[in-house]
């Protein structure tokens, strides 16, 4: 029988391979203890792909990604490749994958785990219990809209310009992702734009409202101006469940929501494509939000939890393995509650450990939880 758990792993550069190794430990555990077998392929991406294949993401890697049920991505980039021209940089590897797989909905959870509540720069009372999912449209809007450029005017002065443009279908498909997510969470979507000053924002609000009325009346919809949302995230973040935004506002607000948790090494993400109407499947890529951290690469001290939590998202959204996803998330919570910390989340009185010990501890907790 063909596998429906075809997984492509692209470790990338810097700490990418180090943290992905810890996910392999979790995968081995699932194979051993829960009899879940994945069909795994690996590939090169980023700087390591430039070194071997001459390009940050080869056609062969894209083909593998297209035929996989999900892609687990590490991170790319590093000083070795910093002097390359823009069109050859490692970061283009991830951009090509997003574009070629049509990954338009970026999901970034901002979850404040109780043991790490002091890691936030906000007061514990404000952030304790925060559990937000930011859904960002990631292939349209002002980062791609035409015309764009810098021109020199007749008086010799320069003028820079970009275009924020959205087709209603682009808004509708990402809105559906947000509403579907809200149904599985606490049933509320906050859609952000600047409908007061932007035409594309007016259309955004109208289309989200139409989709809501026609298909998701059971979900609560709230419209909020993006600047107000930024303020509310800092003052009353617990009011939010799912935040839906365009490429620009989603980018800024997901970083702000991430900052509430105070720890880059803890945050996973997913980017989803459209559901294929014939197979019911969708392309999806899962990665931590952090980069390749060249400053600590090779030292064995990187926090593997964001990568492991990205794998939990993959189990949930691509393989429908809710129970296993929750188990992995619980194991991470238990390890933190037990006092283990990598250097990036170190707190007084806790035990400092490296990447491998942290990965092993997660597997030990998985064992205990499923005993
Ligand atoms: P970064 O996220 O790599 O690192 C920022 C800081 O956080 C560093 O001090 C790093 O040591 C620390 N850090 C990050 N992840 C950590 C982890 N898991 N455990 C412990 N500490 C961690 O961001 P940067 O320094 O701006 O970028 C470094 C490289 O990564 C650049 O080449 C950049 O282009 C690339 N990058 C890639 C991606 C991606 O692959 N999607 C995303 C962001 C940055």
Q: Where are the domains of the chain?
A: 1-104+273-371, 109-136+165-264
Instruction: Answer yes or no: is pLDDT of 291 > 70.
Output: yes
Q: Is 180 annotated as a binding residue?
A: no
Q: Which atom, in ligand 1's list, is nearest to the CA of 46?
A: 40
pLDDT bracket for residue 1 (50, 70, 90): very low
Helical pair 322-337 and 355-369, crossing angle rounded to 10 deg: 120
DSSP 8-state assignment for residue 141: G
CA distances from 11 to 71, 77, 296 (A): 10, 12, 16
Among 290, 300, 308, 340, which is best to mutate for testing ligand 1, by the most ligand atoms less than 8 A from CB?
A: 290
What value does the mean pLDDT take over residues 8-26?
Answer: 98
| Angstrom distance (rounded) from CA 87 to CA 56 | 10
Distance 293 CA to ligand 1 centre (A): 4
What value does the mean pLDDT take over residues 306-310?
Answer: 98
Q: Is the CB of 359 under 6 A from ligand 1?
A: no
Distance 289 CA to ligand 1 centre (A): 8
Instruction: Answer yes or no: is pLDDT of 351 > 80.
Output: yes
What are the backbone angles phi and psi of residue 307, rounded to the nearest 5°? -70, -40
Higher pLDDT, 347 or 308: 308
121-158 pLDDT, tens digit per residue, is 899 999 999 999 999 999 999 988 999 999 999 999 99
226-270 pLDDT, tens digit per residue, is 999 999 999 999 999 999 999 999 999 999 998 898 788 899 999
Q: Is the CB of 92 under 6 A from ligand 1?
A: no
pLDDT bracket for residue 35 (50, 70, 90): confident
Task: Decide if 1-104+273-371 and 109-136+165-264 have a common fold.
Answer: yes
Q: Is the CB of 94 under 6 A from ligand 1?
A: yes
Which residues have a catalytic role annotated?
143, 194, 227, 251, 255
Q: Which atom, in ligand 1's list, is nearest to the CA of 12?
A: 40
Average pLDDT, the chain: 95
CA distances from 203 to 106, 164, 197, 209 (A): 20, 12, 12, 10
pLDDT at res. 3: 61
Please state, for a pLDDT cut of 70, what percent of the chain lies above it: 99
Report the nearest-CA residue for atom 16 of ligand 1: 265
What value does the mean pLDDT take over residues 64-76?
Answer: 97
| Angstrom distance (rounded) from CA 332 to CA 338 | 10
Report the nearest-CA residue for atom 32 of ligand 1: 77
Instruction: Answer yes or no: is pLDDT of 273 > 60.
Output: yes
Instruction: Answer yes or no: is pLDDT of 164 > 70.
Output: yes
106-126 pLDDT, tens digit per residue, is 999 999 999 999 888 899 999
pLDDT at res. 277: 87
| Angstrom distance (rounded) from CA 302 to CA 356 | 9
Inter-residue contact 192 to 141 (CB < 8 Å): no
| Angstrom distance (rounded) from CA 71 to CA 326 | 19
Which CATH number is 109-136+165-264's, of 3.40.718.10, 3.10.450.50, 3.30.70.260, 1.20.120.80? 3.40.718.10
Fold of the domain spanning 1-104+273-371: Isopropylmalate Dehydrogenase (3.40.718)
CA distances from 160 to 148, 217, 249, 293, 314 (A): 8, 42, 20, 32, 40
| Angstrom distance (rounded) from CA 254 to CA 37 | 34
Instruction: Answer yes or no: is pLDDT of 221 > 90.
Output: yes
Q: Is the CB of 11 under 6 A from ligand 1?
A: no
């Amino acid at each position: 029988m063909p596998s429906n758990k075809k997984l492509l792993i692209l470790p990338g550069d810097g700490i990418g391979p180090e943290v992905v190794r810890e996910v392999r430990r979790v995968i081995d555990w699932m194979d051993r203890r829960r009899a879940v077998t994945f069909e795994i392929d690996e590939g090169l991406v980023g700087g390591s792909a430039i070194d071997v294949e001459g390009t940050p993401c080869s056609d062969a890697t894209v083909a593998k990604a297209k035929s996989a049920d999900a892609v687990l991505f590490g991170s790319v980039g590093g000083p070795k490749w910093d002097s390359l021209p823009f069109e050859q940089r490692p970061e283009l590897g991830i951009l090509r994958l997003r574009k070629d797989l049509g990954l338009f909905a970026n999901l970034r959870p901002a979850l404040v785990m109780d043991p790490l509540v002091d890691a936030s720069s906000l007061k514990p009372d404000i952030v304790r219990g925060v559990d937000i999912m930011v859904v960002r449209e990631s292939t349209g809007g002002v980062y791609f809209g035409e015309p764009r450029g810098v021109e020199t005017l007749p008086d010799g002065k320069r003028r820079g310009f970009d275009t924020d443009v959205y087709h209603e279908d682009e808004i509708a498909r990402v809105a559906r992702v947000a509403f579907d997510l809200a149904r599985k969470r606490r049933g509320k979507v906050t859609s952000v734009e600047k409908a007061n000053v932007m035409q594309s924002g007016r259309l955004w609000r109208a289309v989200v409202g139409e989709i809501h009325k026609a298909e998701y009346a059971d979900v609560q919809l709230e419209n909020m101006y993006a600047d107000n949302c930024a303020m509310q995230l800092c003052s009353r973040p617990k009011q939010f469940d799912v935040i839906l935004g365009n490429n620009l506002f989603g980018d800024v607000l997901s970083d702000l929501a991430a900052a509430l948790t105070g720890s880059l090494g803890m945050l996973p993400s997913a980017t989803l494509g459209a559901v294929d109407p014939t197979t019911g499947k969708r392309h999806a890529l899962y990665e931590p939000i952090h980069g390749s951290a060249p400053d600590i690469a090779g030292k064995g001290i990187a926090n593997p939890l964001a990568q492991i939590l990205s794998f939990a998202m993959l189990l949930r959204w691509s393989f429908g393995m809710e129970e296993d996803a929750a188990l992995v998330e619980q194991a991470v919570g238990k390890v933190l509650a037990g006092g283990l910390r990598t250097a990036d989340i170190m707190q007084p009185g806790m035990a400092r450990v490296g990447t491998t010990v942290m990965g092993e501890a997660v597997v030990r907790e998985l064992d205990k939880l499923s005993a």
